[in-house]
Structure 1
């Protein structure tokens, strides 16, 4: 019986969780840290805890499924090295995102920034510096794990190039993300799309797919245009869903307090749509809360009610579904060229992104 896509994704995720734990268990022995250092193993422990705490491993699944587009027996060493690199880069992003956002919780536990703040309550500079360095270490490890692999040198170099470019694109996206929030009036939707593409799509979708094809022995550059098109659309869906959940979701499903975009003054998809829709006293309520880090939960709930009353939640969901269908059509065009079972998976991914609850 053919394994169902979600069952296959869950199996890939479970196997990777074991691999990731084993990686961190041996990392201390491979890091060339001074023997007296207590901070280094503590940093590795915090990275380990964050990395293994939850997460759906969808980037790892995309990597494996991209390889399966070509063959069902891609070398496990290539897939494992690429998967570790992808998730270490993700850990780097989480550490720095939480620092930029001053977030206290991530995946139901403390962020690395707040863990360090607790360790150094009288020295905020040390907490800040160690958080930055923890994120930097995760980034370096995401490249080193490829360099340390036993893969042929050409494959290693190609994978490192993919990850280095993905990281650079993501940093540019983060800069543009902060710049977007200074826009007055609210930014154009194409600005939001470009930010989503650079900030998340290129490292979360495009890079794993490139790495998967490379692990299967296929040069991804030959398919660059369609991979970029698909990744951009899926990335937009995912960012829209993140923004929707931040305002219209619940802390129980997301693992962090709602209303973060309002408090941080972010011109997210949800906030931008809200500002473009409401007027009068309701708009004044939104504008007064925007950027107020002490904005109470009751006000966030009131803004959520305003958004639901004016159909902002449903309008944004309709936009998600529109982009998800466009992404599905791109994947549908792969039929006849690539393996049908894997194409089925990529046709379903966009709607999964729209329907997820956390």
Structure 2
């Protein structure tokens, strides 16, 4: 990424963080909750805390850069669309952490564990309130679009984009869980389908569609190209996450490696590892897979097995291959859209797999 692009990304992130904080400051006054309710403002507070706690805001960046494909002028509707994509992300974080029984997220407690602390004697209430908090974030992600000061047809189109993105993500989460109960060896077609539906469609495709809609372009005209780019970017991004979970530097990442091994997740890395080894090494990996008590020493040995078998090298090569394919899709946009904006989307895939933070 160029220094100019990275500076623009940082400015977009800072501006949105301020916008998101202002949104939550106003939210309590717009929710139709009875005055006696203590749980409703508490729920909003937990959503605010999780939403503002961090993250790169790359969905917001993609949204703004998609509008820049069409025009360099300010575009109405981007703020509402940005709030929508990040509220949908908050919904996903709340429910993902519940599904995974995760205690922390971005350096703080997850919504589920915050509720467990509030209601230690009432686990069903903690569970129910967590589900409802995620549901509220989803509803808010659509409401913010319905209330946006935009032409009715643009509002409707944006709501349709986000509704479809949410449905695709739910299917992706279902098949993500299904993936970890394989009946046969997993092929890349299954792993790609999970990456596409669980993350690429709401994290890449939806922001692209929303940004173009806000700028007055009809994304349906370019649907095949947008889908191809989003899918490829989602695949190489998921590969990077899976690679780092085994072969990454725990100290640099700020979290331990081997989580996917302990949870029995059949990721790109695990699938490639199981297909590359045999005999005692394969038995060793299978013995650790799904063992929550798997030690750091065992993870280190599995890492060494993967490195000897060439899995780390293959993963790096695959990431670069998919990043290059995404770059070529974006390069095809040059005759149609603005040069500097297209350049951003060309550079993004390789940056996304090689960045260190």
Report TM bin, short chain: over 0.9
Q: Are the aligned partners of 1:86 and 1:142 in contact in 2 as well (CA < 8 Å)?
A: yes
Q: Distance in 2 between matches of 1:105 and 1:301?
A: 24
Q: Distance in 1 between matches of 2:185 and 2:293?
A: 22
- Deviation of 1:289 (Å): 1.4
Q: Distance in 1 between matches of 2:182 and 2:339?
A: 44
Q: Distance in 2 between matches of 1:296 and 1:342?
A: 46
Aligned to 1:260: 259
CA offsets 1:157-197 (integer angstroms, 9 cap, x no match): 10000000000001011111111111133311111011111
2:32 paired with 1:32: yes
2:227 paired with 1:233: no
Aligned to 1:47: 47
Task: Name the count of aligned residue pairs.
Answer: 356
CA offsets 1:240-277 (integer angstroms, 9 cap, x no match): 11111222224444454332211221110011011111
Aligned to 1:136: 135
Q: Aligned pair in 2 of structure 1 residues 104, 300: CA closer, same or farther (>3 Å)?
A: farther
- Deviation of 1:297 (Å): 2.6
- State which drifts further: 156-165 or 67-76: 67-76
Unaligned runs of 5+ in 1: none
After TM superposition, the structure 1 = structure 2 runs for residues 5-20 of structure 1, keeping only pairs within 5 Å, are 5-20=5-20
Aligned to 2:160: 161
Q: Distance in 2 between matches of 1:133 and 1:280?
A: 47
CA offsets 1:272-312 (integer angstroms, 9 cap, x no match): 01111122222112111111223233322222222223221
Q: Distance in 2 between matches of 1:292 and 1:308?
A: 21
Q: Distance in 2 between matches of 1:48 and 1:198?
A: 26
- Deviation of 1:328 (Å): 0.2
Q: Are the aligned partners of 1:107 and 1:256 in contact in 2 as well (CA < 8 Å)?
A: no
Q: Aligned pair in 2 of structure 1 residues 309, 139: CA closer, same or farther (>3 Å)?
A: same
Q: CA RMSD in A?
A: 1.5
Q: Distance in 2 between matches of 1:86 and 1:252?
A: 30
Aligned to 1:69: 69
Q: Distance in 1 between matches of 2:119 and 2:349?
A: 42
- Deviation of 1:99 (Å): 1.1
Aligned to 1:174: 173
Q: Are the aligned partners of 2:50 and 2:110 in contact in 1 as well (CA < 8 Å)?
A: yes
Q: Are the aligned partners of 2:191 and 2:267 in contact in 1 as well (CA < 8 Å)?
A: yes
Q: Distance in 2 between matches of 1:3 and 1:200?
A: 27
- Deviation of 1:54 (Å): 1.3
Q: Distance in 1 between matches of 2:238 and 2:246?
A: 13
Aligned to 2:109: 110
* 2:181 alignment partner, SS class: coil
Aligned to 2:214: 215
Aligned to 1:309: 308
Unaligned runs of 5+ in 2: none
- Deviation of 1:107 (Å): 1.4
Q: Are the aligned partners of 2:67 and 2:75 in contact in 1 as well (CA < 8 Å)?
A: no
Q: Aligned pair in 2 of structure 1 residues 3, 277: CA closer, same or farther (>3 Å)?
A: closer
Q: Distance in 1 between matches of 2:7 and 2:332?
A: 24
TM-score (norm 1): 0.96
Q: Are the aligned partners of 2:262 and 2:290 in contact in 1 as well (CA < 8 Å)?
A: yes
